[in-house]
Structure 1
Amino acid sequence: MQRHRITVIGGGFAGLTAAITAAEAGAEVTLHEAHHTLGGRARTAEGPYRTNEGPHALYRRGPHWTWLAQRGLLGPLAPLPTREAARFRFHHAGALRRTPPLRFLRHTLRTAEQAPVDSDFRTWATRVAGPEAAAQAAAYSGVALFHHDPGALSARFVQERLHRAAALPPEARYVRGGWGRLVERMAARARELGVRIETKSRLTELPLTDGPVVVATSLAAASGLLGDASLRGEGGRTVLLDLALRTRKGDPFVVSDLDAPGWIERFTAQDPSLAPAGEQLIQAQLPIAPPSSASSSASKADGVTHAERLLDLGFPGWREREVWRREAVSSGRTGALDRPGTTWRDRPAIDRGDGVYLVGDEVAAPGVLSEVSFTSAVEAVSLALRARRLDLKSA
């Protein structure tokens, strides 16, 4: 029987998942990546400070965890720093504390009532736990949302991410050496299966092919490829601050801001390989509002100022210990956001018709963060192969 041919555009996590899934099903796969390296937003910086574009974690209850483990692709994971976990700090009312407020803790761990889809999180959580706990829970959920106002989003959407982020024992696991290592293993697996990977292959239109095409790019890039101006997502806008500090005993593992969305994590606490010996790598994410009358540089400065206030409280003498810094703003690159009255089913459909399929973290697929990319990629390949078999059968 003639092998199915599938073209994948985009070599990030979604594109590699689609390519591997299709090749395992016996398809002949060609993957196009515009850059000279694979990975997309899952790239890890080269050099002494191995940073990602914001925190990148795998959640153990997610579908891609099992899929990666079955294929031996998880690789070494950074162990949970049990001793360091005691250095988890919460910023509340201008001070750091070792434990969160009790009402906040009860609310984040409660599972008795499922939040409604058609209400915003702030309104629902205020009714359930009171305004103060609602505001704190919304701020804490920013670690999985990258949004400056989680309280305005769908209550069901925020609740799911809040429970996953606050689960005990923690669900999040980190790939040792950064997500670039995971990308390398996935790319090796794809090549073993015969996937043809073409880097520095930027496509400005859909290729002429007799097989299905899986578009695994951002919605903005997909909009141009498909000629569909309606493909627009709503992602958060976040200041990313990466710091390397000379090691000091007693620095916290995490500082979570409960007054406004903001998160600082010392990633070398669990994976010392991310920075040179004697140094520690700290990554902060500070969601900021979309630009209005203020300039984007001022908004970025606001995020950096927010981070530095938290650093002053949690990392004494950090300014004198700083040996490296990088600042960036990530806009619309942190996954889909569901407004009240909408769910993942209301996002852009995977099947675009005419043998074209759209995958990524902003399309109509369930899951949290990278789980959406994974689920959509597997679903797209399943739909493509099913449609292809029906076409061949009827021909």
Structure 2
Amino acid sequence: MGGGFAGLTAAITAAEAGARVTLYETHHTLGGRARTAEGPYRTNEGPHALYNGGPHWAWLAQRGLIGPLAPLPPLEAARLRLHHRGALRRTPPFAMLKLLRPRRGRTGGNAPVDVDFLTWATDQAGEEAARAAANYSAVALFHHDPGSLSAAFVQERLRRATKLPPEAHYPRGGWASVIDRMAARAWNLGVRMETRSRVDSLDALTGTGTGAGAGTGTGTGTGPIIVATSLDAARRLLGDDSLTWPSGRTALLDLALRTRRGDPFAVSDLDAPGWIERFTAQDRTLAPAGEQLLQGQFPIGPQESRADGVARAEHLLDLGFPGWRDRVTWRREATANGRTGAVDPVGSTWRDRPAVDRGDGVYLAGDQVAAPGVLSEVSFNSALAAVSLALGRRSRNTLDLKHA
């Protein structure tokens, strides 16, 4: 149930294991948050990138599902700008570099789970560097106060986001190209895909003879069921109030600008969480000729409005893209609330999130459940775990949660 990245991963994995699979998707197209908008501006739901350091990269590559990538030209890569102390800079605070690589010794090494990142990083590199690093990590967190989260959680994402060579890669044509290949793979494996098919209760599946397999019973009378939706949707569907976990709330701003030489590839805010990226720097097919497509995300706190986040975005645009207002050809604003993955508070890890196995043959997959990884890797790992549990067996493609 759910035709996003997690649902398609689960459907393909189950079908490859010989299960009979039906996939239900409420929307008329597949993809979930991995959809790419149709039309002249090929936007994702917020800035998206595919990291090659996780297990999903090898899984997709083995099946030929990644497809052509849009490499970032070296000249463009050098145009990353950092907003620090009210001005744009080319390099981060020197002390911040201490937090980007593992160090040996009594004061270095891995960050602890039971201390917030700002406290731990301040002890390592000083408060200015700690705040800058926390705000930079928001590119992979979408959270308004990364420094308040578990130090171990933030450190992992900070290191992945700043790794050299970069782990972030861009499928040509947007994420929809990957989703289309995954859907074709599922179809060729015999997966039955029901779009525009909203399921409001598991009881609605009783007697249909479908599900994610046919090996164990469930309370609905079908085979095992994998619920690959948002945690909010899963909570309503299953009537389980325990299905909660903190996530981010983020103002999203999409812009198309007439092309001008010298625009930065991306601008990262080190004074507050925020990120703007020019996606046509690596893939010019995302906007019409002569135009550039920008996507930005600016996390907002509980008492802030979308307008507050957009105002911060516009201030960063004023610094990084002078005269941008006169070049706008298209604009869109949105708010992502609880749709950007789990964040782990102090004292918690991914193991403390809602379990994949909900009992009675029902399993969860998605980016806010108990599975390791960064960004879409959580959805992928939870999908493999769900299939492994649903089919009651392990294979070379399943995730061993005991050792992850």
User: Which TM class, normalised by the smaller chain length?
Assistant: over 0.9
1:231-250 alignment, distance < 5 Å: 231-250=243-262
The answer to whether the aligner puts 1:81 opposite 2:65 as a matched pair is no
The residue type paired with residue 225 of structure 2 is V
1:57 is aligned, of 49, 54, 75, to: 49
In angstroms, what is the RMSD of aligned CA positions? 1.1
Pick from 102, 105, 130 the counterpart of residue 94 of structure 2: 102
1:172 and 2:168 aligned: yes
1:151 aligns with 2:147: yes
1:134 to 115, 130, 137: 130
Deviation of the 1:99 alpha carbon: 1.3
Match for residue 280 of structure 2 among 265, 268, 281: 268
SS of equivalent residue, structure 1 residue 236: strand
Equivalent positions of 1:329-348 (< 5 A) are 329-348=335-354
| Residues 109 and 166, structure 1, Cα contact 8 Å, conserved in 2 | no
Equivalent residue number for residue 252 of structure 1: 264
Give SS of 1:175's match. coil
Task: Report the counterpart of residue 303 of structure 1 in structure 2.
Answer: 309
Number of aligned positions between the proteins: 374
Q: Return the offset for 1:111.
A: 4.1
Aligned match of 1:28 = 20
Choose which of 217, 233, 236 in structure 2 pairs with 1:221.
Answer: 233
TM superposition shift of 1:382: 0.8
Alignment-mate amino acid for residue 164 of structure 1: R
Kindly state the Cα deviation for residue 387 of structure 1 after the two structures are TM-superposed.
Answer: 6.8
The correspondence of residues 239-388 of structure 1 with structure 2, limited to 5 A, is 239-291=251-303, 299-386=305-392
- Amino acid in structure 1 at the alignment position of 2:67: G
Classify the secondary structure of the residue corresponding to 2:373.
coil
What is the letter of the counterpart of residue 12 of structure 1? G
Give the CA deviation at 1:106: 2.8
Task: Give me the whole-angstrom Cα distance separating, in 1, the residues matched to 2:351 and 2:280.
Answer: 38
Which residue identity does 1:94 align to in structure 2? G
Scaled by the length of structure 2, the TM-score of the pair is: 0.91
| 1:100 Cα offset (Å) | 1.3
Specify the SS of the correspondent of 2:21. Answer: strand
SS of 1:23's equivalent?
Answer: helix
Q: Tell me which amino acid in the other structure corresponds to 2:361.
A: G
Deviations 1:321-371 (A, max 9, x none): 011000011100000010000000000000111110011000000000100
**Post-superposition offset of 1:264:** 0.7
Q: How far off its partner does 1:273 sit?
A: 0.4
Does residue 211 (structure 1) correspond to residue 219 (structure 2)? The answer is no
Cα shift at 1:104: 1.2
- Paired amino acid for 1:279: E
Match of 2:178 in 1: 182
Q: In the alignment, what sits opposite 1:195?
A: 191
Q: Offset at 1:58? A: 1.2
C-alpha contact 1:43 1:179 (8 A) present in aligned 2 = yes
Q: Secondary structure at the match of 1:106?
A: helix
User: Structure 2: how far apart are the matches of 1:234 and 1:81?
Assistant: 37
Gaps of 5+ in 1: 1-8, 389-395
Matches of 2:64 and 2:184, distance apart in 1: 11
Deviation at 1:247, TM superposition (A): 0.2
Deviation at 1:232, TM superposition (A): 1.3
Q: TM-score, normalised by structure 1?
A: 0.93
Amino acid across the alignment from 1:258: L
C-alpha displacement of 1:107? 2.1
Identical-residue share of aligned pairs (%): 73
Does the 8 Å contact 2:4/2:30 carry over to 1? yes
CA distance in structure 2 between the aligned counterparts of 1:387 and 1:279, rounded to whole angstroms:
51
Matched, 1:39 2:31: yes
Contact 2:42 2:173 in 1 (8 A): yes
Give the Å deviation of 1:109: 3.0
Alignment of 1:101-120 (within 5 A): 101-112=93-104, 113-120=109-116
Kindly provide the CA deviation profile for residues 20-47 of structure 1, in whole angstroms up to 9, marking residues without a partner as x: 0000001100000011110111111010
How far the C-alpha of 1:82 sits from its partner, in A, is: 1.0
Q: Give the Cα–Cα distance (whole angstroms) in 2 for the partners of residues 210 and 86 of structure 1.
A: 54
Equivalent residues of 2:98, 2:124 under 8 A apart: no
- Give the whole-Å Cα distance in 1 for the aligned partners of 2:232 and 2:393: 26
* Change in 2 beyond 3 A, CA 1:267/1:111: farther
Q: For residue 110 of structure 1, report the CA deviation from its aligned partner.
A: 4.0
Q: Distance in 2 between matches of 1:379 and 1:111?
A: 32
The one-letter code matched in structure 1 to 2:196 is K
Paired letter, 1:230: S
Alpha-carbon distance between aligned partners in 1 of 2:338 and 2:247, rounded to the nearest angstrom: 4
Maintained 8 Å contact 2:102/2:110: no
Separation in 1, partners of 2:306, 2:74: 34
